[in-house]
Amino acid sequence: MDYRYGSHTVFNIQYHFVFVTNYRYQVLKGDVGLRARELIRETCQAFEIEILKGVVSKDHIHLFVSAPSNMAPSEIMRRVKGRSSTKLFESFPDLKKRYWGRNFWARGYFCVTSGKVTEEMIKEYLDHHFEPKVDDSFRTEY
């Protein structure tokens, strides 16, 4: 497994995000799509979020990332969507006419975790994790 390391942590946290343009306008093509991809890459790099795979479609973006353990999915989306929205409006002033409310991205997003350790693997490990002379008062079965 490819674990990442922090100053006091070892982790492997992966998220699959999908987020859409406001009103599902198909504006992520050509230069706008390329600039959005560039901005998302810059933002992720600044916050040590590793992009494992990404796809820019006409009206939505898929991101599969490995994130630091101290960063919540909502924080990742806030940073990625917020910074890219502001910079896209600066780079392409014509977008302001279409998005008069200054909201380039739709409000919500889809997020699902991904990992290589399954629930069954964890339960199996815990079932067979015995140490000599351990106080079993902490051990409970769920």
23 catalytically annotated: no
CA distance 108 to 39: 19
CA distance 31 to 36: 8
Catalytic residue among 15, 23, 99, 125: 125
- Would you name the residues annotated as active-site residues? 125
